[in-house]
Amino acid sequence: MNLIQNCKYKKYVIIHTLIFIFGIIVGVMLGNVIGDIGEIPILSKPFYDYFIHNLITCITIILFGVITFGFLTWIPLIYNGVVLGMAINFLSYHNDSFQILIYFAHGFVEIPSLMLSIYLGKLISMNIREALIALIKKKKFAIKSSFFKEIGIMFSIITGLLLLASIIEALPK
């Protein structure tokens, strides 16, 4: 898995991790402003509902990365961070830290899949960019056959992580 080991966009991933953390902080602060809203019913959906929702989110992040050359991937990322921060804040009124951790245990698997989606969108967009530049300059450009294999492997990892996260999220709390 040469692609992940030789991550060309480490700074990019670190920046998006910090943006996600910023979103969580904003969400917690918004939750403080709003205050206690009472009990939050914890939804008990089947795992495939969570899986489909999260898969669509990751595909959206990948597409945002490809279409905008990685510049707008922060939008769904910060949105998810704010929602997570607000949920943590609201749950803290009626639950202890351990219960909140149990509610969001799936996040330890889901968040890496979001980050991999950002990386995959950036990777694809940079290859498209290189191809367009080569086309404009009338230079020869060839996409390595291993590139598509690596995209497939990364997307399979993302899908597997999302499936595991969905199963954990659907477990009774």
pLDDT in tens, 83-141: 889 888 888 878 888 888 888 888 899 988 988 898 888 888 888 888 888 888 877 77
At residue 169, does pLDDT exceed 60? Answer: yes
The pLDDT-based confidence of 39 (bands split at 50, 70, 90) is low
At residue 6, does pLDDT exceed 70? Answer: no
Residue 96 covered by a domain? yes
What is the distance between the alpha carbons of residues 62 and 85, in angstroms, rounded to a whole number? Answer: 23
Residue 156 covered by a domain? yes
Does the pTM exceed 0.85? no
* Domain enclosing residue 87, as ranges: 8-33+43-170
Exposed/middle/buried for 23, CB within 10 Å: 0-12, 13-18, 19+?
buried
Average pLDDT over residues 12-22: 83
**Residue of 133, 21, 148 lying closest to 78 (CA atoms):** 21
Helices (H) and strands (E) in the chain, counts: 7, 0
